[in-house]
Amino acid sequence: MYCEGCKRLYSGGTRCPSCRRPGREPLPEDLVVVCDRPVLFAEMLSDILRSEGIENMKQGILGAGLSSILGMQAEKVSILVPYALLEEAKEIEEAFFAGNFPEEAGKTQTEE
Ligand SMILES: [Zn+2]
């Protein structure tokens, strides 16, 4: 299910576990949060995604409630992509943070 309020996917139940808003099936153009990262990494990941042809948006997490949940990590940024590109974006994100080096993650490599 997809929450329009949180821009996140969740499974189980028909209401968002975070905000209790009723969810719905995601549409290809729905923006979905790929990950939350510190500002610096979010900027790098955003550039990499764009260079891979994946349009994306950055959204700062500034809510007081959220920052206490995240343990004072207020300076985090969410990266959002259209649902249709989510899997691709996740793969790039994982490669990026596994390699931990922007130049390496910029290369397109198929592992399967
Ligand atoms: Zn929600």
Q: What is the pLDDT of residues 13-44, one digit of tens each?
A: 999 999 999 999 999 999 999 999 988 899 99
Q: How much distance in Å is there from the Cα of 23 to the middle of ligand 1? A: 8
Interval between CA 10 and ligand 1 midpoint (Å): 9
Q: Are strands 76-82 and 57-61 parallel, antiparallel or unpaired?
A: antiparallel
How many Å lie between the centroid of ligand 1 and the Cα of residue 21? 6
Q: What angle do CA 38, 66, 11 make, to 5 degrees?
A: 95
**Distance from residue 39's CA to the centre of ligand 1 (Å):** 22
pLDDT at residue 106, as a whole number: 47
Average pLDDT over residues 42-58: 95
- Tell me the whole-structure pTM to 2 decimals: 0.75
**pLDDT over 50 at 84, yes or no:** yes
What average pLDDT does this structure show over 57-84? 74
CB contact set of 11 (below 8 Å; sequence gap of 6+): 1
How many whole angstroms from 5 Cα to the centroid of ligand 1? 5
Contact yes or no for 8/63 (Cβ under 8 A): no
The stretch 46-70 carries a mean pLDDT of: 79
What is the distance between the alpha carbons of residues 99 and 71, in angstroms, rounded to a whole number?
A: 26
